[in-house]
Protein backbone atom coordinates (compact mmCIF):
# COMPACT_ATOMS: atom_id res chain seq x y z
CA UNK A 1 0.00 0.00 0.00
CA UNK A 2 1.18 3.52 -0.72
CA UNK A 3 1.00 6.29 1.88
CA UNK A 4 0.97 9.99 1.11
CA UNK A 5 1.11 12.85 3.61
CA UNK A 6 0.37 16.38 2.46
CA UNK A 7 3.15 18.12 4.36
CA UNK A 8 1.61 21.50 3.54
CA UNK A 9 -1.39 20.44 5.67
CA UNK A 10 0.44 18.45 8.36
CA UNK A 11 0.69 20.31 11.66
CA UNK A 12 2.59 17.55 13.53
CA UNK A 13 -0.22 16.77 15.97
CA UNK A 14 1.23 13.25 16.23
CA UNK A 15 -1.97 11.23 16.27
CA UNK A 16 -0.63 9.15 13.38
CA UNK A 17 2.51 8.33 15.38
CA UNK A 18 0.38 6.91 18.20
CA UNK A 19 -1.83 4.92 15.78
CA UNK A 20 0.91 3.48 13.55
CA UNK A 21 4.40 3.94 15.03
CA UNK A 22 5.77 1.40 12.54
CA UNK A 23 5.01 3.89 9.76
CA UNK A 24 5.02 7.39 11.29
CA UNK A 25 7.52 9.08 13.62
CA UNK A 26 9.13 12.42 14.37
CA UNK A 27 12.71 13.39 13.58
CA UNK A 28 15.06 15.28 15.91
CA UNK A 29 13.41 18.57 14.91
CA UNK A 30 9.88 17.26 15.60
CA UNK A 31 9.03 17.01 11.91
CA UNK A 32 6.93 14.10 10.73
CA UNK A 33 8.73 11.35 8.85
CA UNK A 34 6.90 8.38 7.39
CA UNK A 35 7.25 5.35 5.18
CA UNK A 36 5.80 5.93 1.72
CA UNK A 37 4.76 2.31 1.55
CA UNK A 38 3.86 -0.39 4.06
CA UNK A 39 2.91 -4.03 4.09
CA UNK A 40 -0.77 -4.88 3.90
CA UNK A 41 -0.72 -6.21 7.47
CA UNK A 42 -0.36 -2.57 8.62
CA UNK A 43 -3.34 -1.34 6.59
CA UNK A 44 -5.72 -1.17 9.58
CA UNK A 45 -3.21 0.81 11.66
CA UNK A 46 -2.48 3.19 8.77
CA UNK A 47 -6.21 3.67 8.16
CA UNK A 48 -6.63 4.45 11.86
CA UNK A 49 -3.75 6.95 11.63
CA UNK A 50 -5.34 8.62 8.60
CA UNK A 51 -8.69 8.84 10.40
CA UNK A 52 -7.06 10.29 13.51
CA UNK A 53 -5.33 13.10 11.62
CA UNK A 54 -7.19 16.28 12.60
CA UNK A 55 -6.30 18.03 9.33
CA UNK A 56 -6.80 14.95 7.09
CA UNK A 57 -3.27 15.18 5.67
CA UNK A 58 -2.79 11.40 5.33
CA UNK A 59 -4.00 9.52 2.27
CA UNK A 60 -3.71 5.79 1.63
CA UNK A 61 -4.10 4.18 -1.79
CA UNK A 62 -7.58 2.80 -2.27
CA UNK A 63 -6.76 -0.15 -4.49
CA UNK A 64 -7.99 -2.61 -1.87
CA UNK A 65 -10.27 -1.71 1.03
CA UNK A 66 -9.12 -2.28 4.61
CA UNK A 67 -9.76 -5.86 5.68
CA UNK A 68 -10.44 -7.10 2.14
CA UNK A 69 -8.27 -9.10 -0.18
CA UNK A 70 -7.45 -7.45 -3.51
CA UNK A 71 -9.40 -8.71 -6.50
CA UNK A 72 -7.53 -11.23 -8.69
Average pLDDT over residues 34-60: 96
Inform me whether the pLDDT recorded for 69 exceeds 90. no
Q: How many domains, in total, are found in the chain? A: 1
Inform me whether the pLDDT recorded for 6 exceeds 70. yes
The strand pairing partners of 51, in sequence order, are: none
Residue 56 maps to a domain = yes
Residue 69 maps to a domain = no
Residue 39 maps to a domain = yes
CA distance 72 to 25: 34
Q: How many CB atoms lie within 10 A of CB 23?
A: 22
Residue 44's pLDDT is what? 96
Residue 31 maps to a domain = yes
Q: Which domain holds residue 32?
A: 3-60
Inform me whether the pLDDT recorded for 42 exceeds 80. yes
Residue 70's pLDDT is what? 46
The CATH number that applies at residue 37 is 3.30.70.20
Residue 32 maps to a domain = yes
CA distance 58 to 36: 11
> With a threshold of 0.75, does the pTM exceed it?
yes
Average pLDDT over residues 48-64: 89
Residue 72 maps to a domain = no
Amino acid sequence: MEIHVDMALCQSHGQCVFAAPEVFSFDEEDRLVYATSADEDLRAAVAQAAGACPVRAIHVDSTSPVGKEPAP
